[in-house]
Amino acid sequence: MKRKVLALVLAVTCAMSLTACGKAAGELPSDAASRSIEDADTSVVYFDEEAVALAGELAGSNEALLAAAQEAVTEVNEIRSESGLGELEWNGQLADAAYVRAQEIVGTFSHTRPDGSEWWTVDSTVMYGENLAKNYNTSSAVVDAWMASPTHQANIMKADYETIGIAVYQTEAGNWYWAQEFGY
């Protein structure tokens, strides 16, 4: 009987510690998203002007979330540097697009936008790769999760990417939704 109680206490303790770290609660889509610059039809530009304008107004309204996004960029650049890759430069256009996507994935956790269009149609002039995540409450937890996923890691480690924008959107319930956008 004593062993059963001890085993139960250990199991509950382990489960609670994983949840507290954000490891068990977080989620990634099954794949990352990317599109080739060579295959992009640059004669047609998609730009969701209204959504990007609103995102630009709201993105800096929560300093803690902005700091978390910038910490994630720093961590990504450290990982890239350790592998001999160049650092990604923060891009405001990508950050605004990321903020739009971070809000959109609250309702539809997918690389498809709520209106059914492709993820990159927020701003097709700069968006070439996308990583999403939800319910990770620290930059290190979300970057660790992205790096543990082969397709998300591939986006982070793609040597051709030169720019990055990350945004975090927090719901009223306190859940964090992350969008990481990459460009050339």
Banded pLDDT at 175 (limits 50, 70, 90): very high
pLDDT of residue 108: 92
pLDDT of residue 17: 33
CB 69 within 8 A of CB 102: no
pLDDT of residue 11: 39
The yes-or-no verdict on residue 167 having pLDDT over 50 is yes
Main-chain dihedrals φ then ψ at residue 20, nearest 5 degrees: -65, -30
Task: Provide the CB-side half-sphere exposure for 130 (13 A, CA).
Answer: 32
pLDDT of residue 47: 55
Banded pLDDT at 182 (limits 50, 70, 90): very high
pLDDT of residue 9: 37
Residues 58, 115, 184: CA angle, nearest 5 degrees: 65
Mean pLDDT for the chain overall: 82
The yes-or-no verdict on residue 32 having pLDDT over 90 is no
Q: What is the DSSP string of the chain?
A: -HHHHHHHHHHHHHHHHHHHHTTTT-B--SS-EE--TTT--TTS--B-HHHHHHHHHHGGG-HHHHHHHHHHHHHHHHHHHHTTPPPPEE-HHHHHHHHHHHHHTTT--SSB-TTS-BGGGGBTTT--EEEEEES--SHHHHHHHHHHSHHHHHHHT-TT--EEEEEEEE-TT--EEEEEEEE-
pTM, full prediction? 0.74
Report the range of poorest mean pLDDT among 47-51, 104-108, 113-117, 127-131: 47-51
The yes-or-no verdict on residue 53 having pLDDT over 60 is no
From the CB of residue 107, how many other CB atoms can be counted at a distance below 10 Å? 9
Torsion from C-alpha of 89, 52, 100, 125, nearest 10 degrees: -50
